Structure formats: C-alpha cells, structure tokens
Amino acid sequence: MDMKIGFSPKPAKDTDLYLIAVCEGEARKAAGPHAAAIRAILKANPDFKGEGGAIVTAVVPGAKTGRVGLCGLGPRKARTALALEIAGGRILGAAMQLPVRDIFVDFSQAGATGADEIAALASGAALRGYEFRAYQTKNKDQHLPDSVTFGAGAVAQRAYAPMAKSAAAVHFARDLVNEPANVIYPESFARRVVGKLRPLGVKVTVLDEKQLAKKGFGAMLAVGRASAHKPRLVVMEYKGAGVKGAPVALVGKGIT
C-alpha cells in the first residue's frame, strides 16, 4: 500500500490523528485556539519537550478528531532541512505505533514555518513510509497510515514535488534490495531497471557476458562463474544538467 502525502490548510473529516507541531521548549507558551488542548496533552505527558520527532497524544475533551497530539520539530535555531527531514521520519515512525489511518499536522504553533521546511518534514515522512510486504501472507496488520496531510498550501506542495520523486526512487531501490535472490538476479535486475528508467529519459545500457569479455571485464566474469545466472553490467546515464553541468558518477556492485 502506498501512503499518500498531501498538503491542505484544513484537516479532512476522517482525520483520526491531529498533530500540533511545536519547537523544542516552546509548547508551554502556546496561545490561540489550540492552547487548551496543548495544556491537556502536556498535563498527561509532562516530560515532553518538543525534541525533533517526538510524539505524545492524549484524550482531549471536545476534540473533533480521534486523537490529538503534539509532535516536536526540535530547537528553532537548529531547524535545518536535514533536521526536519529526520524529524519527519521519526514522527511517522512513532505514529505507526498507533492505530491511525489519516494524520494531519498543524503548524499554527510552530512559528514562521516556511514551505521548504514543511516540505523537508514531508520528505522525511515519505522516506520512512516504506514497508516491503510483497510476499507476506500472514500477519498483514497495516502499520503505514493511509495518508499524512501537512497544514500548508500549494507553495509547500511545489517545494515537495522533487522530494517526492527522490523518495519514490529510494523506495524502488529498497524493493530491489529486499527481493529474494531467486527473483532479483543479474538479468531480472537489468530488466527492472530498463523498464523503470528508460521511460523517464534515462539512457540504460546493459552489457551481457559476451560484451563484458570483449571489453576486458575479466574479474567480473571470474566472480560470476560460480553463479547459476550470467553476469550483467547496467550503465545508467542521465544528462539532466546539460552540457555545462559537472558529471556525477555512482558505481555499485552486486553479486548473486
């Protein structure tokens, strides 16, 4: 199941976990319409300080959602993109321990929270929101929520768009790693990569054992002799930076 990441100023009616984001050390200074709820949550969780990724919940009388809680963004002065991405992952990880399906994150008590900051938090949640259950037939209890909605608008959604693509790429790589060796081996790995990347404009070249021998890849062929599957070398080239951009080369090795 894919978890949906969304952005909206208001929560959906079926939200069953309403999280109020706060910076570390600032929760007790809360004012406005959420002040009473925050006081009730802090009374039930006196040790909460607002550390990055921390979550606490409590029963709040009169709340319109199933659960109300606080989530920490960490110290305001240390609110970097990386720190928020880590916090977003931890927040989702903590929420996955609760029986909730739809989560809303409110930033009204977090001070001036920019679109890039909210997008970084969403990116962390997206990266954490991964489970490999392709072959699970028992104990299929769902841990991932159906959706996480961040209390922001179109600007944050646009800032998140490239991060969403990065998270999808990470999930694809995790799938390849998690597949058993009788499913992912050199030939099937090459097929999956070609099928996934060529439609995106990536040039993918696959060298088989004859081409490897011709090009002098003796060490690779020697290692592959003990395998039931013939070796493959997959070369992926993406020239998205244009002719003036400095090239970046990544090399990976896998033995089946």
CATH number at 31 reads 3.40.220.10
Distance CA 34, CA 244 (A): 51
190 and 102 in a common domain: no
Domain that holds residue 149: 4-178
* pLDDT of 1 higher than 60: no
State whether the Cα torsion 101-107-108-114 is positive or negative.
Answer: negative
pTM: 0.88
Structure confidence by residue, pLDDT tens digits, 206-232: 999 999 999 999 988 998 888 889 999
As a whole number, mean pLDDT of residues 142-152 equals 91
* pLDDT of 242 higher than 80: no
CA angle 170, 247, 206 (to 5 degrees): 65
Q: What is the pLDDT of residue 248?
A: 81
The domain tally of the chain equals 2
Q: What is the pLDDT of residue 56?
A: 95
3-state secondary structure of 18: strand
As given in the structure block, the two tokens for residue 5 are 């990441």
* pLDDT of 76 higher than 70: yes
* pLDDT of 197 higher than 90: yes
Q: What is the pLDDT of residue 13?
A: 86
134 and 29 in a common domain: yes
Rounded to the nearest integer, the mean pLDDT of the chain is 90
Among residues 178, 204, 228, which one ends one of the domains? 178
Confidence label for 254 from pLDDT (cuts 50, 70 and 90)? low
